[in-house]
Structure 1
Amino acid sequence: MRVVYIAPIEALAKERYRDWDLKFNKGLGLQVVELTGETAMDLKLLEKAQIVITTPEKWDALSRRWKQRKYVQQISLFIADELHLIGGQGGPVLEVIVSRMRYIASHQVENKIRLVALSTSLANAKDLGEWIGATSSHGLFNFPPGVRPVPLEIHIQGVDIANFDARMQAMTKQTHTAIVQHAKKEKEKPAIVFVPSRKYVRLTAVDLMTYSSPESDKQPPPFLLHSAEELEPFISKIQEEMLRETLRHGVGYLHEGLSSLDQGVVTQLFEVGWIKVCVTSSSMCWGLPLTAHLVVVMGTQYYDGQEDAHTDYAFTDLLQTMGHASRPLLDNSGKCVILCHAPRKEYYKKFLYEAIPVESHLHHFLHDNFNAEVVAGVIVNKQDAVDYLTWTFMYRRLTQNPNYYNLQGVSHSHLSDHLSELVENTLSDLEASKCITIEHDVGISPSNLGRIASYYYISYTTIERFSSSLTLKTKMKGLLEILASASEYEQLPIRPGEEDVTRRLINHQRYSFENPKCTYSHVKANALLQAHFSRQHVGGNLALDQQEVVLSAGRLLQAMVDVISSNGWLNRALLAMEVSQMVTQGLWERDSMLLQLPHLTKELAKRCQENPGKSIEMVFDLVEMEDDERQELLQMSDTQLLDIARFCNRFPNIDMSYEVQDDENVSAGKNITLLITLERDLEGKTEVGPVSASRYPKAKEEGWWLVVGDTKSTDQLLAIKRVFLQRKSSVKLEFAAPAQPGKKTYTLYLMCDSYLGCDQEYSFCVHVKDSSDPYEDGMRVKILREYRHFTGEGFYGCCGWSNVFNFPISFPRTCGDL
């Protein structure tokens, strides 16, 4: 049995993992895992798991090669949660993975897959149900919006103030009134307040604290449900000073910029009922583990930096915030107060009390999905592409809502023409970006660029930009600019006031811009990447953005290495590999490699470098020192030294041996085969653990590149292979011998993608013989010996092999070199 559960976003996946690990793993002994997004690690997790929790993007990346991955084919139950989000921003990916699982299920006789989808009340639930194979007779259940585990009272109030800040200020007083009104008889009923941004989280919490301050010092704050003395041990752990003050008045707040410790303390105090009010940003609604008797949505708009305007919340986000007013077994009903701009009041009245319709957005995002299916071999011609679309939700909705999809009519011919045009345009764009080739206007085959884009789960526009922008002369600055220009960073948000922060950030980095356009997402991505390498602190929302930039940079750099390798540029490929190490460890390549170690500062690294007797520059130098010398040099506590010891135990120590197969018979123009053996010292461990990288946002498994290059004459990359090494591995590399015979020198590199200072480099020689000789070496020796025997003469020298059977007897005596 293998179950896959799809949560729409990572925060919700983590919440579900915490819940199910307790319920199914500890309770029933079932192996529950959450996928990481690292392909190699996820394949191992998938192999051993019975319940897999993941997001649409991670499952899309893993299931694209389902024909080669038997564990993907062995799914018994596939659960897609929040399926109404198929009409939202991430909807196309959700639609693609459900369509793929349906396709896999229909092509497998021996293994049946059950599909279960969950969503809010929908106006067109029948279309979604029939799409996944749930017929209305026994598999489709669609309840009215008012049917909830806990009945919900919804109050919508309009505020007729045009200015956004002034309107938010007015809403704060109404929020306080709503909390007091709906909990006046039920003092211990908690309330959650959702506000548009981190800025308003603090402002609202402080205002609510002020409004609720007791008239005399003898009275306790009304929102504080326990004594201040009992609360103080928890408040003392809080790092943010303003949060400590609001908590003393029973008001906590949460936003993405808080430390995990602060978030944990506030969450715990609210869950156990010691504080009554929690203010949080609306963007946290999906992963928030808290529920309350009352939810106040204070404003239904947020600032969109890219549009430079205030935009309405997505309707699905609004429904999610309302869902937090549900405490089964604790409340008979929940209450939700929505405060909005007065002109929007009727709009929310209409849609909050009715089931919502959903439509597909897949027709705007077909390129990458088509490319993935071409690479997987599902689409091999244009008719296959049309057939692929018939598995999608979009196909079912085309004739139901033709105007939305720009369909001219609902007849079969109209539908056929529309799909053909959609396929033609999409495939033409893919061909122009060199991801696919179209043969004879019908057959479709993937190109090298298309395979790279599909494997690393990156956009076809990104791979096209890499291919056209990277050159033989690209240096570090240019490589970082090309990396930051990837389409994956286009959705990086630009928030109010961030333009100046980004400008200051980029101007103080190693590679700055003359006139940086700080409203551009790629400039922000570049600034955050360089700040990561410089270990420069960025707080708040920028820290979260930096995590996203760093995580995406890993797979983008691996794709970049493959693009560069396809062009045979050795030094550019090694540079990209070096940047991958920088991304993982949060260091520049010129920094001391000792800074990878925990607790090591720049001053301490400099002291190690200036160590009398022997300069300590590498991790291995530190490992080889005597214990007392090391302790005297580092001057650290035992706990800190233990952390360093753990890092050193994980630091790769690899023995590499290699040989050229049949090196005496390597002919010009033929293939040279290099046999490589890699053996790792695991220090008694059974397997390699995750990379030790405190600056990397999540667990990562180290990977390696084996590279053969010609550094003597052409600076050309001849062979490359990516390997994941445990204890021992044997690898075969093949590359073409040069056309000219003679002695050739090559360089073999072993490059890590995660650690600095553990790469290896070796030179080896190959004697290439002339492939135009009609005789093998053994035949030459035999003929020359026979000539010497029959003539009674000594060996005089070499003559042309073409007339080896009629040596001229008068041939000059020279010292021949056999």
Structure 2
Amino acid sequence: MNWKRLYALTGWKTGTFSKRGQLSMTQNLFMIEIKELDDFAQAAFHGYKSLNRIQSWIFQTVYYTNENILVCAPTGAGKTNIAMISILHEIGQHFKDGYLHKDEFKIVYVAPMKALAAEVTSAFSRRLSPLNMTVRELTGDMQLSKSELEETQMIVTTPEKWDVITRKSSDMSLSMLVKLLIIDEVHLLNDDRGPVIEALVARTLRQVESTQTMIRIVGLSATLPNYLEVAQFLRVSPETGLFFFDSSYRPVPLAQQYIGISEQNFAARNDLLNEICYKKIVDSLRQGHQAMVFVHSRKDTAKTAAKLVELARNNEDLELFKNDEHPQFGLIKKEVMKSRNKDLVELFESGVGVHHAGMLRVDRGLTERLFSDGLLKVLVCTATLAWGVNLPAHTVVIKGTQLYDPKAGGWRDLGMLDVMQIFGRAGRPQFDKSGEGIIITSHDKLAYYLRLLTSQLPIESQFISSLKDNLNAEVALGTVTNVKEACAWLGYTYLFIRMRQNPLAYGIGWDEDAFSLPLK
């Protein structure tokens, strides 16, 4: 394919895309067919005919260059396949004389949660097995011996686990073999886990400069307003390595509703939450759609499910929930009755299910199957389902945004990352032409979530909260030995970039001399 000619025809260049609809005019020209890839790369895309329009647009940069890249795109835009293309590029670098030199490289995929790491490991193991690549999970739940690490070409890990490994000077031989670092959900920088990402990116960038070795960084993120600063942090060229796609590129359009409750009394507020939630679900069921309700504790899943069934009975709407006309109802009912989970058995005939991490794996698997087959019309679940299981629905309702945090010893607001991940479950590209995300919160939090989800709030750094710990880690590692080196290390963090842009947010006045560190 003559890329230069195609760019000339469309009037586009590789880089930042934020204008709505511009890409759609040329999307038919742009779909890259899988048969255009190298033979070994086609094996990883078995069952695919072509890349989607976002993947096709950035394919040239990801597959044919070693540049650091940052892709900001809505949930469901196919960022996992972008990661796969970068992995195939790295594999291609080590194919010599028809033989893959496995001992020359390691690929690290940093997933935000253990549940997601397990899902990524499973998917990539299956797709890379024709290339004889070993993909293993390395998290708090899954430990790897030294020999297993040596035999593994792709490590799927969490930010905390990779931070621990790269902190140890004894593991330097492992980090020296890393040639590709993929960081999923980069907008986590705004979360309380953001400092870990900042620390490991800063360590990687310093390693690249001190050893003069090539480590490619691929950042995958949801749409965010200050993407230029995040690109600067990841050392991404804004002209050639930065790709920004707004919500118009979501494969299934998402309608969003924000509902605020001003009721102060706890019991009355809870009743109101249930009633609003019920009305929204009934609206969805009347249109022939399934719905998911996200609550914030395991106990509340069964409570909410029982309340929805009670409201349906009182309003004579039970027929909407019923599933007894399904052709497999009799067969599946026998299987459900064997379950020891009381909630699963009792709620099944009402067409409602519950799902949380406290259930047995076999019961969770059965519930997921029942919902995907249409035997459950409504699923009440915790955020674990949004992260660990690829199970979408047309309508998604977040019932309340307050959750108890045992570490803080009190209540906190549902984080941006969880809300975006939950809303990402709304709308199924295979079955639906649209999706609906509904968030029910207290009235005073309405504006906050509205700004958050329309990408109006810039991503700030949370690094100050753990600055002491991270600096001590660098001192122990031997990479910081004096004040000058400590200042240089700070220059690699996202905190440094945001301090220059918004110093007042970090409690400091503007002083030009204080920010004279050169950004390399």
Q: Which has the larger radius of gyration?
A: 1
| 1:205 equivalent in alignment to 2:305 | yes
SS for the counterpart of 2:343 is helix
Note the alpha carbon deviations across 1:295-334, whole angstroms, 9 max, x for none: 0111111234566654321122211211111422322111
Q: 1:373 aligns with which of 465, 469, 474?
A: 474
Query: Are the structure 2 counterparts of residues 140 and 42 from structure 1 closer, same or farther at C-alpha, using a change threshold of 3 Å?
Result: farther
Note the alpha carbon deviations across 1:123-144, whole angstroms, 9 max, x for none: 2110110111111101111223
Note the alpha carbon deviations across 1:410-436, whole angstroms, 9 max, x for none: 312x3479xxxxxxxxxxxxxxxxxxx
**What residue in structure 1 maps to residue 202 of structure 2?**
99
Distance 2:132 2:445 in 1: 50
Check conservation: 1:195, 1:282, Cα contact below 8 A.
yes
Query: Are the structure 2 counterparts of residues 342 and 361 from structure 1 closer, same or farther at C-alpha, using a change threshold of 3 Å?
Result: closer
| 1:331 equivalent in alignment to 2:432 | yes
Query: Are the structure 2 counterparts of residues 128 and 180 from structure 1 closer, same or farther at C-alpha, using a change threshold of 3 Å?
Result: same
Distance 1:133 1:393 in 2: 11
TM-score relative to the length of structure 1: 0.47
Check conservation: 1:225, 1:276, Cα contact below 8 A.
no
Note the alpha carbon deviations across 1:223-265, whole angstroms, 9 max, x for none: 5662541221331232221221112211111122222222121
| 1:296 equivalent in alignment to 2:397 | yes
**What residue in structure 2 maps to residue 350 of structure 1?**
451
SS for the counterpart of 2:503 is coil
Q: How far apart are 1:210 and its partner, in Å?
A: 2.7
Check conservation: 2:395, 2:436, Cα contact below 8 A.
yes
Q: Number of aligned pairs?
A: 412
| 1:14 equivalent in alignment to 2:118 | yes
Check conservation: 2:318, 2:350, Cα contact below 8 A.
no
2:120 partner amino acid: R
Check conservation: 1:254, 1:280, Cα contact below 8 A.
yes
Note the alpha carbon deviations across 1:692-749, whole angstroms, 9 max, x for none: xxxxxxxxxxxxxxxxxxxxxxxxxxxxxxxxxxxxxxxxxxxxxxxxxxxxxxxxxx
Check conservation: 2:309, 2:318, Cα contact below 8 A.
no
- The structure with the greater share of residues assigned to helix is 2
CA RMSD of aligned residues (A): 2.7
Q: How far apart are 1:154 and its partner, in Å?
A: 0.4
**What residue in structure 2 maps to residue 165 of structure 1?**
267
Check conservation: 2:285, 2:377, Cα contact below 8 A.
no
Note the alpha carbon deviations across 1:663-717, whole angstroms, 9 max, x for none: xxxxxxxxxxxxxxxxxxxxxxxxxxxxxxxxxxxxxxxxxxxxxxxxxxxxxxx
Unaligned stretches of 5+ in structure 1?
Answer: 418-818
Distance 1:204 1:38 in 2: 31
Q: How far apart are 1:216 and its partner, in Å?
A: 9.3
| 1:86 equivalent in alignment to 2:186 | no
Check conservation: 2:451, 2:457, Cα contact below 8 A.
no
Note the alpha carbon deviations across 1:521-577, whole angstroms, 9 max, x for none: xxxxxxxxxxxxxxxxxxxxxxxxxxxxxxxxxxxxxxxxxxxxxxxxxxxxxxxxx
SS for the counterpart of 1:354 is coil
Check conservation: 1:295, 1:324, Cα contact below 8 A.
yes
Check conservation: 2:285, 2:321, Cα contact below 8 A.
no
**What residue in structure 1 maps to residue 365 of structure 2?**
264
Query: Are the structure 2 counterparts of residues 32 and 121 from structure 1 closer, same or farther at C-alpha, using a change threshold of 3 Å?
Result: same
Distance 2:319 2:142 in 1: 58
Q: How far apart are 1:166 and its partner, in Å?
A: 2.4
**What residue in structure 2 maps to residue 230 of structure 1?**
331
Q: 2:356 aligns with which of 250, 255, 267?
A: 255
Query: Are the structure 2 counterparts of residues 166 and 258 from structure 1 closer, same or farther at C-alpha, using a change threshold of 3 Å?
Result: farther
Q: How far apart are 1:30 and its partner, in Å?
A: 1.6
TM-score relative to the length of structure 2: 0.73
Q: 1:64 aligns with which of 167, 185, 209?
A: 167
Q: 2:512 aligns with which of 401, 407, 411?
A: 411
Check conservation: 2:188, 2:194, Cα contact below 8 A.
yes
**What residue in structure 2 maps to residue 23 of structure 1?**
127
SS for the counterpart of 2:244 is coil
1:135 partner amino acid: S
Distance 1:289 1:65 in 2: 35
Distance 1:136 1:231 in 2: 54
**What residue in structure 2 maps to residue 108 of structure 1?**
211
**What residue in structure 2 maps to residue 736 of structure 1?**
none
1:407 partner amino acid: I
Q: How far apart are 1:289 and its partner, in Å?
A: 2.8
The one of the two structures with greater contact order (alpha-carbon pairs below 8 A, sep at least 6) is: 2
SS for the counterpart of 2:156 is strand
**What residue in structure 2 maps to residue 439 of structure 1?**
none
Q: How far apart are 1:285 and its partner, in Å?
A: 3.4
Check conservation: 2:263, 2:269, Cα contact below 8 A.
yes
Q: 1:155 aligns with which of 257, 263, 285?
A: 257
| 1:130 equivalent in alignment to 2:232 | yes
Unaligned stretches of 5+ in structure 2?
Answer: 1-104
Q: How far apart are 1:292 and its partner, in Å?
A: 1.0
Check conservation: 2:321, 2:377, Cα contact below 8 A.
no
1:98 partner amino acid: V
Distance 2:318 2:418 in 1: 42
**What residue in structure 2 maps to residue 459 of structure 1?**
none
**What residue in structure 1 maps to residue 294 of structure 2?**
194
**What residue in structure 1 maps to residue 500 of structure 2?**
399
Q: How far apart are 1:402 and its partner, in Å?
A: 0.5
Q: How far apart are 1:364 and its partner, in Å?
A: 1.9
Note the alpha carbon deviations across 1:761-785, whole angstroms, 9 max, x for none: xxxxxxxxxxxxxxxxxxxxxxxxx
SS for the counterpart of 1:138 is coil
**What residue in structure 1 maps to residue 286 of structure 2?**
184
Note the alpha carbon deviations across 1:447-500, whole angstroms, 9 max, x for none: xxxxxxxxxxxxxxxxxxxxxxxxxxxxxxxxxxxxxxxxxxxxxxxxxxxxxx
SS for the counterpart of 1:78 is strand
